[in-house]
A and B are shown apart, each in its own frame.
Chain A
Amino acid sequence: MFVVAPFLWALSTSFKDFNSVTGGATYIPWVDFEPSLEGWRVLLRSPAQGGVNIVEPYFNSIAVTCSASFISIFLGTLAAYALSRFTFKAGFIKNSDITFFFISQRIMPPIVLSIPFFIMLGKLGLLDSMVGLVMVYVVLLMPIAVWIMVDFFNKVPREIDETALIDGCNPYQAFYKVVLPNSVPGLIVAGMFCMIFGWTDFFFAFILTFTEVQLLPVAIVALNSSITPWWSLSASALVSVAPLIVVAFIVERYLSKGNLSGALK
């Protein structure tokens, strides 16, 4: 009930017009108020027609989130495996320090990173570009992937790798033929987190882009004007949550197949 209520409220609001929103609480379409598609139409109209186009930001967001998540998972998994299996030592710096270094990127308030990022992307000519955004997001998302995967790999017995080596795998084959297939649950969890954090980030998308590349959270905030358009805000909120819900359902279906839970004793 508590989970579903806000969604229903947003759903109902998205079909209201100005009067239905300001005229006190109303709940059920056709009974309490006359539904209107205005809130949804605004989202699809181009700015020239007096609308706010969220289709392009939508696909921008999908592209940036997916590529940043993929790169983060790819690099993060390799880094995590190395941190879990090999011992690094450079003076007083050990494995746990390197792991902490990754996580420390998340502990820092984002505002601290924003200025260096802005200057760096400016110098590289990557401000207001997809590539620049993906790079920044990889920095933000990779620690999550490393953190989750280090923990996961630590739970996969080292003897499994050793058995793979004995059975004729070189270290790379041991990793992708044996360790990786047994780490699918961890990969999914890490992937989920990367998607969620990437998708919902507003701060960096707001600071590092202007007009060329707009991401969904920024576009939604841009809907706001002197009159708060609750109807289109609600509609866009629903639209922006949709992909995460789809991802969640896919993962859930995969989990319930039982391939993942209890893969390792």
Chain B
Amino acid sequence: MDLLAKELVYKPDTEFHLNNISFGMKKGEIYTILGRTLSGKTTLLKAIAGLVNPQSGRILFDGADLSRVPVWKRNIAMVYQQFINYPHLNVFDNVAFPLRQRGVSDKELKSRVYDAIERVGLKDFESRKIQALSGGQQQRVALARSLAKQAKILLLDEPLVNLDYKLREQLREEFGRIFTSEFSSESILVYSSTDPMEAMQLGGETIVLDEGQILQQGPASEIFENPATTRVAEITNDPAMNLLPGVIEDSKIVIDSKMKLTIPLHFRELSSGQYTFGIRASDISLSKKGHGFTVELAEISGSETFLHARHDDVSLVGQLDLVKNFNVGEAVNLQFDAQKLYAFSADGNLVSSPFQEFGRG
């Protein structure tokens, strides 16, 4: 492991921002820190950068303790969620700033700056003022500055969150391309996000952070397929995975003592008892054979409709692959795909997933 964090604790007031966090990161890899707002993502990145000093714990890079190294001597680059550039400089000088600061020779500086500007798609914008750029372009300048620096650790703190939907989609794709194809094998990339889609798209390793603690760490697909706990299942799905308390009895799944489902194959080793069942919004569909629900809210987004529905104490969100107007209070029949059901034990740990059998039940 090239970057090693050991038992980081940061508690500026009454709440933990980092609660005993340890992890390791390797050069040439992409790491996504996935968590809701206030989960400690920014604090963690700032701790790596040296802008936040954890009260205890250590960060080692290439075997050397970083704790005593001031921010300006650590070889890092960071992009913030706000578009942070130097407003008094133009695009070229913004990107050149960290290189000038390091005394890079004029010739090398020029080639690195032009190269970075081209990579983020801002060619011919070199002499523009920062204020004359759109938000997306400003964020590209910030990214170009961090790329030109060729830092050992590149930190991106929710870089796309303040952009509008379309631009976010476009930039996410470009970021993915820049990072996967042209990223140096000598550097570590840490990307924080609230959006599970971004983690999936970037691939690499995902660290799920919640209330200053690491809940799960592993390849993005692994976390998506086998979320370790109900909380991880909520964080790593958008909309959050529906969690329905229920029981297994007489070879049936019974949710809210009314809805009965046939037991799927991957649940066959689970014993009778209390469980929390998880089903993704996208695995819910309209069907005459389904269970009766009442519509509480319906949102159309692109070619999909998000349906918030309730049946007594059970409320869930379905992501339907169609565009349809539902009226509030309208009765609908929803069917769960039992083959896609997750089962969590009463204390919230995963016991069975459609992708893997645990056989612990």
B72 touches A168 (CB 8 A): yes
Task: Count A interface residues, CB 8 Å.
Answer: 20
Q: Which residues of B contact A264 (CB under 8 A)?
A: 87
Interface residues of A in 141-177 (CB under 8 A from B): 157, 159-160, 162-170, 173
Query: How many inter-chain contacts with C-beta < 8 Å in the A-B complex?
Result: 60
Q: A162-B51, A163-B80 are in contact. Are A263 and B88 (CB under 8 A)?
A: yes
Q: Which residues of B contact A265 (CB under 8 A)?
A: 83, 87, 131
Interface string of A181-192 (1 = CB under 8 A from B): 110000000000
Interface string of B62-106 (1 = CB under 8 A from A): 000000001110101110101111111000000001100110000
CB of A125 within 8 A of chain B?
Answer: no
CB of B58 within 8 A of chain A?
Answer: no
CB of A6 within 8 A of chain B?
Answer: no
B76 touches A170 (CB 8 A): no
B71 touches A166 (CB 8 A): yes
CB of B281 within 8 A of chain A?
Answer: no
B87 touches A166 (CB 8 A): no
Q: Which residues of B contact A182 (CB under 8 A)?
A: 86-88
Q: Which residues of B contact A164 (CB under 8 A)?
A: 86
CA distance A263 to B101 in the complex (A): 22
CB of B280 within 8 A of chain A?
Answer: no
CB of A52 within 8 A of chain B?
Answer: no
A167 touches B149 (CB 8 A): yes
Which of A159, A163, A164, A166 is most buried by chain B, counting CB atoms within 10 A of its CB? A166
Q: Which residues of A contact B41 (CB under 8 A)?
A: none
Q: Which residues of A contact B102 (CB under 8 A)?
A: 168
A263 touches B98 (CB 8 A): no
B72 touches A170 (CB 8 A): yes
A181 touches B88 (CB 8 A): yes
Q: A164-B86, A169-B101 are in contact. List 8 more A-B contacts (CB 8 A).
A: A159-B84, A163-B86, A166-B74, A167-B149, A173-B101, A178-B88, A182-B87, A265-B131
The 4 closest A-B pairs by CB, nearest first: A168-B101, A167-B98, A181-B88, A165-B71
A-B contact pairs, 23 of them (CB 8 A): A157-B84, A159-B80, A162-B51, A162-B71, A163-B85, A165-B72, A166-B49, A166-B76, A166-B78, A166-B98, A167-B72, A167-B98, A168-B98, A168-B102, A169-B72, A169-B101, A170-B70, A181-B88, A182-B87, A262-B131, A263-B88, A264-B87, A265-B83
